[in-house]
Amino acid sequence: MTATSHNTAHRPAIAVTRHAIAAGHYLAATAGFDILQAGGNAVDAGVAAGIALGVVQSDLVNVAGVAPILIYLADKREVVTIAGLGPWPKALDPEFFMREHGGKIPIGVLRTVVPAAPDAWITALKRYGTMSFSEVASPATRLARDGFPMYPLMAASLQKHAERHAMWPSSAAVYLPGGKVPKSGDIFRQTELGASLQYMADEEKAASSRGREAGLDAARDAFYRGDIAKKIVAFMKEQGGLLSAEDLAEYHSPVGPAERRRFGDLDVFTCGAWCQGPVLLQTLALLEGTNLKALGQNSADYVHQLTEALKLAFADREAYYTDPAVGQVPLPTLISPEYAAERRKLIDPLKAWPEMPPPGDAGAGVGFGSLRESKPNPFPEPDTSYVCVADRWGNLFPPTP
């Protein structure tokens, strides 16, 4: 990838007739495209691209991070989700961060949740894909082992966070090779990551005589029960973390239906409130009362209306979204026309909320806000990337690792 500035990336476009893929880095898109060309479906290609992003954008995405997944199954005309977000360790007291850290999560291993991405990718392959883990992970393994040219966007990110990486020898060994921040154009290698992916592939191959699913299970177990799990747990104990062998071994990504809402002539689907996906549905509900076309696309009034609707939806996200295993989210109310009509009253056509507005009272179905004060925006660090794949059979696979 080339870039004219640290914040502008130019990705080469490839025109095709049977399938399409887009990703946060062209090498990840190429990995998925090669899988499509080899006969794989959208799931196979999306998993290949998603794992590759964990290599070529490892400053934003982690192979052992998260992977919320939406899948459209063309033959069933059905949209399903895979909740690739891990829970907190069982040993964590829910009040710990409030009691010990004033409600903030400190830098370091105490931020660690169960790594969900490997299980989510393999679950997608097992249920809806056609290829092996070894096949789809091969591009990522090669990119990690042999390296890829460092590019300006990642080089700038590593430079910005160099002091933080230097706090942990294991991070410094990867992101500060030889004690220096890699420069754009340097070949950047992550050999231990490549070895971990290869170990998972080798375990799959050893079990493949029992069938494709047994092989995929073996690749998963290599991470969650095998040598990788043992190294994770040992590191956690050494650093004062709470993640245990039991946390890893017992984790499985839930699979279920998508959330859905009509907007104009479209049916819009998102993952559940275990992530921030339904913010889109609530934003669309808030915009139903606005003639966006009359405002003119990207006009000042158009951008204002859209931005303020997003602020209101994100405020409710902060107030109500949670892990469904530990709490209920009033999502039917949050995306309902009635609640949106009340909530929309907080949008002033002549004035913007300078910070996050107060949430509505979803319990009472009242959207005009609560007595809670507006929350300041801490300007969080950028993270996350994206993949979107469409195959020749009409399947769609858009994960957000």
For the chain, how big is the Rg over CA atoms in Å?
22
DSSP string, 41-106: -HHHHHHHHHHHHHHHTTTT--TTS-EEEEEEETTTTEEEEEEE-PPPPTT--TTHHHHHHTT-PP
H/E stretch holding 390:
strand 387-390
Block mean pLDDT (10 aa), the chain, length 401: 49 74 97 97 99 97 97 98 96 89 89 97 99 99 98 96 94 97 98 99 98 98 98 96 98 97 96 96 95 95 97 95 88 96 94 92 68 54 89 98 94
Question: What's the confidence (pLDDT) of residue 247?
Answer: 98
Helix (H, G, I), strand (E, B), or coil: what is residue 278?
A: helix
CA distances from 23 to 240, 258, 262, 318, 397 (A): 36, 22, 27, 28, 11
Question: What's the confidence (pLDDT) of residue 11?
Answer: 59
Helix (H, G, I), strand (E, B), or coil: what is residue 387?
A: strand
Question: What's the confidence (pLDDT) of residue 17?
Answer: 77
Q: Where are the beta strands (DSSP E) in 170-231?
A: 187-188
73's tokens:
């199954």
Question: What's the confidence (pLDDT) of residue 105?
Answer: 87
Return d(Cα 39, Cα 138) in angstroms, integer: 15
Return d(Cα 236, Cα 228) in angstroms, integer: 12
Q: Is the pTM of this model over 0.85?
A: yes
Question: What's the confidence (pLDDT) of residue 94?
Answer: 80
Return d(Cα 192, Cα 52) in angstroms, integer: 15
The bridge status of strand 255-257 relative to strand 78-84 is: antiparallel
Return d(Cα 79, Cα 260) in angstroms, integer: 9
Question: What's the confidence (pLDDT) of residue 103?
Answer: 86
- Give exposure, 86-109, as e/b (b: 16+ Cβ within 10 Å): bbbbeebeeeebeeeeeeeeeeeb
Sign of the torsion angle spanned by Cα atoms 301, 303, 306, 308: negative
Report the first-to-last Cα separation within the chain, whole angstroms.
Answer: 19
Question: What's the confidence (pLDDT) of residue 371?
Answer: 44
Helix (H, G, I), strand (E, B), or coil: what is residue 380?
A: coil
Long-range interactions of 104-111: CB distance < 8 A, separation 24+: 107/164, 107/167, 108/239, 108/240, 108/241, 109/235, 109/236, 109/239, 109/240, 109/241, 109/243, 110/240, 110/241, 110/242
Which amino acid is located at 126 in the chain?
K
| Domains identified in the chain and CATH numbers | 2-147+189-255+382-397 (no CATH), 276-364 (1.10.246.130)
Return d(Cα 339, Cα 172) in angstroms, integer: 49
Question: What's the confidence (pLDDT) of residue 320?
Answer: 94
Question: What's the confidence (pLDDT) of residue 323?
Answer: 85
